[in-house]
């Protein structure tokens, strides 16, 4: 059975047929790890590249020279965007809109692929003795004159999905968390006493963080590098933004999903945040 599956995957690859990576690779890997009944830990990383379902089902009979012309234009625009630290001009918004549409299609394809895997995961009763974690490293933005990630501090970039499937965990957890908490949770799951960081917490425990931070890549073009501090205030999450390259820039906003509602700007935002800012700057090596 396993040999036949591998031959099928090889044939699909040689023929250039797109496959569901969760179904064709992940299930096989888990089955191999479970054979000797020992605890196991598997990281499966995949990226939503290649054709989308809508592209595969669409019209592929466009003129070859038209394709080459469009691709050349697209390459030129992309080169300019990269040289400007992932920002674009209004005249290039048409291609950015196309990229955003394709990105959303790939996300939808990924969700469908994940659903197929999850059904197989449940059917094999793996959920009875396995913790399944689904997350991402970052999001992307395709609006407001900005593309992709790295240099941008919008919520479309900094906020990532995080799902954990375990029979002992039910409902939605609104605690603040970071990627280091995922690693710490895995360490404690395997009863490893070593701590990854004094900031890391176990997600399945009762600890709560008072704040979390993110930082952007330094943009020399715009003299920007944003430090974001997220804190709970009553039932709301407050986002504080500081430009580390401009001492007079600071903003305080209330988060509403992916929208930020600005409530204050200027040096007054720094008040009462000294410990958090110092901690974050130390953590990021400043």
Question: What pLDDT sits at residue 176?
Answer: 86
Q: What is the CB neighbour count within 10 angstroms for residue 118?
A: 15
DSSP letter, residue 245: T
Every domain of the chain and the residues it spans: 69-169, 173-209, 210-286
Adjacent-strand bridge partners of 248: none
User: Which token pair is 278?
Assistant: 């110092």
- In order of 64, 66, 155, the CA distances from 61 in angstroms are 8, 11, 39
Tens-digit pLDDT string for the chain (286 aa): 445 555 555 555 555 555 677 777 888 889 889 988 888 888 888 776 554 444 444 444 444 445 556 678 888 999 999 999 999 999 999 999 999 999 888 888 888 888 888 898 899 998 888 888 888 888 899 999 999 999 999 999 988 888 877 766 677 777 888 888 888 888 887 888 888 888 888 887 788 888 888 999 999 999 999 999 999 887 888 999 999 888 778 889 998 888 888 888 887 777 767 788 888 888 777 7
Q: How far is CA 177 from the centre of its chain?
A: 13
| Angstrom distance (rounded) from CA 181 to CA 200 | 5
Question: What pLDDT sits at residue 233?
Answer: 82
Q: Which of 222, 268, 260, 263 is nearest to 244 (CA)?
A: 222
Q: What is the CB neighbour count within 10 angstroms for residue 15?
A: 7
Q: Which residue has the tokens 């933004």?
A: 241
């Amino acid at each position: 059975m396993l040999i036949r599956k591998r031959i099928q995957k090889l044939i699909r690859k040689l023929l250039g047929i797109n496959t569901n990576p969760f179904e064709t690779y992940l299930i096989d890997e888990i089955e191999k790890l479970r054979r000797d009944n020992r605890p196991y830990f598997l990281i499966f990383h995949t990226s939503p590249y290649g054709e989308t379902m809508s592209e595969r089902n669409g019209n592929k009979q466009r003129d070859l020279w038209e394709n080459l012309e469009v691709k050349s234009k697209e390459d030129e625009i992309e080169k300019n965007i990269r040289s400007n630290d992932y920002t674009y001009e209004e005249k290039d918004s048409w291609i950015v809109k196309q990229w955003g549409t394709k990105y959303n299609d790939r996300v939808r394809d990924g969700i469908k692929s994940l659903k197929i895997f999850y059904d197989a995961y449940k059917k094999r009763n793996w959920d009875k003795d396995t913790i399944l974690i689904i997350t991402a490293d970052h999001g992307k933005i395709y609006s407001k004159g900005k593309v992709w990630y790295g240099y941008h501090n919008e919520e479309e970039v900094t906020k990532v999905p995080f799902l954990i499937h375990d029979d002992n965990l039910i409902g939605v957890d609104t605690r603040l968390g970071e990627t280091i908490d995922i690693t710490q949770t895995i360490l404690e799951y395997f009863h490893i006493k070593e701590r990854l960081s004094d900031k890391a917490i176990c997600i399945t425990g009762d600890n709560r963080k008072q704040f979390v931070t993110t930082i952007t890549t330094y943009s020399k073009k715009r003299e920007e590098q944003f430090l974001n501090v997220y804190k709970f205030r009553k039932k709301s999450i407050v986002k504080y933004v500081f430009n580390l390259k401009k001492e007079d820039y600071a903003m305080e906003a209330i988060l509403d999903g992916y929208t930020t509602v600005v409530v204050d700007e200027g040096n007054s935002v720094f008040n009462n945040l000294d410990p958090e800012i110092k901690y974050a700057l130390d953590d990021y090596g400043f």
